[in-house]
Amino acid sequence: MLSVQDLDLADKAVFLRVDFNVPLDERRNIRNDARIRAALPTLGYLLDRGARVFVASHLGRPKGRRLPEFSLKPVADRLSELIPQPVGFALDCIGEDVERMEVALPPAQVLVLENLRFHAQEEANDAEFARSLVRRADFYVNDAFGACHRAHASVEAVTRFVKAAAAGFLVEKEVDYLNRVVRDPEKPFAAILGGAKVSDKIPVIRNLIRKADDILIGGAMAYTFFAAQGLDTGRSLVEREKTDLAAELLRQAETAGVNFYLPQDHVVAESAEADAAEVISSFPIPAGRMALDIGPATVDTYRKVIQHARTIFWNGPMGVFEADPFASGTDAVALAVAGSTALSIVGGGDSVAALYKAGVQDKISHISTGGGASLEYVANETLPGIQALAEKLK
Ligand code: AMP
């Protein structure tokens, strides 16, 4: 794919797709502006070269409705505090009024457009909508890594309606790091997967079985694998309709010679709200109890595998880490990954939150800005948004 550095930008108008889907509180204050900051290298580069920049993003899920609580205005205000140039704001992302503002925008200035998802055509990948988005733009630059797994109009269809389409620095950096996991990773390669659902992670596990030496499973998803082996998992969260697939993945891992680790002990309690928990190391999980974290023996095993690895990919918590009695497993994995000298890539809101909670975020090679996008990249080795940029070059 083309890089933003390949574009001749002087006096050109650029439609810059970013992921400004920031968390807001009830009063619409931005709780964390990391996603805005992540786009600044590309935005600064475009402005330094005299481009006129139309910045577009989605925010939340307004589902095609114009809902004021999903307006990007607070984001535009925050952006204006972060860069020296004035930041304009358009009340829509398409239409005559917006185009008038775009045409009038002076070189090296920014116009933030209103939420793309105020139009249902965005998520429908509608070609006419995509064409309208870039009617006044020469180039398209995608720096919205967190949205690249969505074939939406501003990510996919849009590339057909510009002279050139390129990746911004954030997208390039994410893809470079993830390629080091999926293409010829330095061995041993350990993948750590957790979270509630196996169903979300089946494609990624399937691909990792072909690449990884060790797959470490934690979180509720482990219990679907145990149920697939006919073990009594008590009240643990199990996706019953996925047990056949889980059994098939276990067989595939065995055939491929991959070490597929499931917890060897479990922190169990009556519910995730309980404040007392106990550790058990064999099945059945007692009736009325559910497994809510990996136990200390599992932590020891996983820590050793992590210490030994040269490449690490981690997505998903090892337990209900939001509650203190069930956070130890996730905390321990965060510390182990941070303590490793391997290439480490961590994605997913929960795993990233655990790193910040432990204060070890700076010890990770790469924290992905897209949990879903990074998982899908590891599963499919491309994404609709990346594919669209590559197709444009053909
Ligand atoms: P996911 O969105 O699939 O990555 O799942 C993240 C959620 O899984 C977090 O909110 C965790 O609290 C939850 N979770 C992790 N382990 C367990 C478990 N053993 N039982 C119930 N929920 C879990």
Under 8 Å CB-to-CB from 54, ≥6 apart: which residues?
A: 13, 14, 15, 16, 102, 105, 111, 113, 136, 137
SS3 135: coil
Q: How confident is the model at residue 108 (pLDDT cuts 50, 70, 90)?
A: very high
* Angstrom distance (rounded) from CA 84 to CA 327: 42
Task: Reply yes or no on whether the pLDDT at 393 is more than 90.
Answer: no
Q: How confident is the model at residue 148 (pLDDT cuts 50, 70, 90)?
A: very high
Index of the ligand 1 atom closest to the CA of residue 321 = 12
Query: Cβ(338)–Cβ(360) under 8 Å?
Result: yes
Verify whether residue 63 is a known catalytic residue.
no
Tokens of 338: 């941070």
The pLDDT tens digits for 291-325 are: 999 999 999 999 999 999 999 999 999 999 999 99
Q: Considering only CA atoms, which residue is closest to atom 1 of ligand 1?
A: 195
Model-wide pTM > 0.85? yes
Verify whether residue 28 is a known catalytic residue.
no
Q: What are phi and psi of 81, to 5 degrees?
A: -80, -20
Task: Reply yes or no on whether the pLDDT at 267 is more than 90.
Answer: yes
User: For residue 125, is it left (φ>0), alpha (ψ between -120 and 50) or beta?
Assistant: left
Q: Which residues does ligand 1 sit against, CB inside 6 Å? A: 195-197, 200, 219-220, 237, 291-292, 316-317, 319-320, 322, 348, 350
* Angstrom distance (rounded) from CA 336 to CA 315: 14
Tokens of 245: 């697939």
What stretches of 183-275 show up as alpha helix (H) in DSSP? 202-209, 221-228, 243-256
Task: Reply yes or no on whether the pLDDT at 326 is more than 90.
Answer: yes
Nearest to 30 by CA among 92, 93, 79: 79
Distance (angstroms) between ligand 1 centre and the Cα of 195 equals 4
Distance (angstroms) between ligand 1 centre and the Cα of 244 equals 21
* Angstrom distance (rounded) from CA 61 to CA 163: 30
Pair type for strands 2-3 and 164-167: parallel
Distance (angstroms) between ligand 1 centre and the Cα of 47 equals 42
Verify whether residue 35 is a known catalytic residue.
yes
The pLDDT tens digits for 31-68 are: 999 999 999 999 999 999 999 999 999 999 999 999 99
Under 8 Å CB-to-CB from 17, ≥6 apart: which residues?
A: 56, 57, 140, 141, 142, 143, 144, 147, 154, 155, 158
Q: What are phi and psi of 205, to 5 degrees?
A: -65, -45
pLDDT at site 144: 98
Tokens of 223: 């219990």
Nearest to 265 by CA among 279, 286, 284: 279
Q: How far is CA 349 from the centre of its chain?
A: 7
Q: pLDDT averaged over the chain?
A: 96
Tokens of 147: 């949205």
- C-alpha angle 12-16-19 in degrees, rounded to nearest 5: 170
Q: Considering only CA atoms, which residue is closest to atom 21 of ligand 1?
A: 220
Q: Taking residues 142-150, what's their average pLDDT?
A: 97
pLDDT at site 200: 87
SS3 281: coil
- The single-letter code of the amino acid at 85 is Q
More confident residue, 211 or 276: 211
Q: Taking residues 224-236, what's their average pLDDT?
A: 97
The pLDDT tens digits for 175-220 are: 999 999 999 999 999 999 999 989 889 999 999 999 999 999 999 9
Helix axes 202-209, 371-380, angle to 10 degrees: 40
Q: What is the number of other CB atoms lying within 10 angstroms of the CB of residue 100?
A: 12
Query: Cβ(337)–Cβ(345) under 8 Å?
Result: no
pLDDT at site 349: 86
pLDDT at site 191: 98
Task: Say which of 66, 131, 180, 197 is annotated catalytic.
Answer: 197
Helix axes 328-339, 349-358, angle to 10 degrees: 80
* Angstrom distance (rounded) from CA 343 to CA 334: 14
pLDDT at site 276: 86
The pLDDT tens digits for 70-85 are: 999 999 999 999 999 9
* Angstrom distance (rounded) from CA 337 to CA 76: 36
Verify whether residue 197 is a known catalytic residue.
yes
Task: Say which of 100, 163, 304, 349 is annotated catalytic.
Answer: 349
Q: How confident is the model at residue 158 (pLDDT cuts 50, 70, 90)?
A: very high
Q: Taking residues 271-276, what's their average pLDDT?
A: 93
Task: Reply yes or no on whether the pLDDT at 394 is more than 90.
Answer: no
pLDDT at site 391: 95
Q: How confident is the model at residue 252 (pLDDT cuts 50, 70, 90)?
A: very high
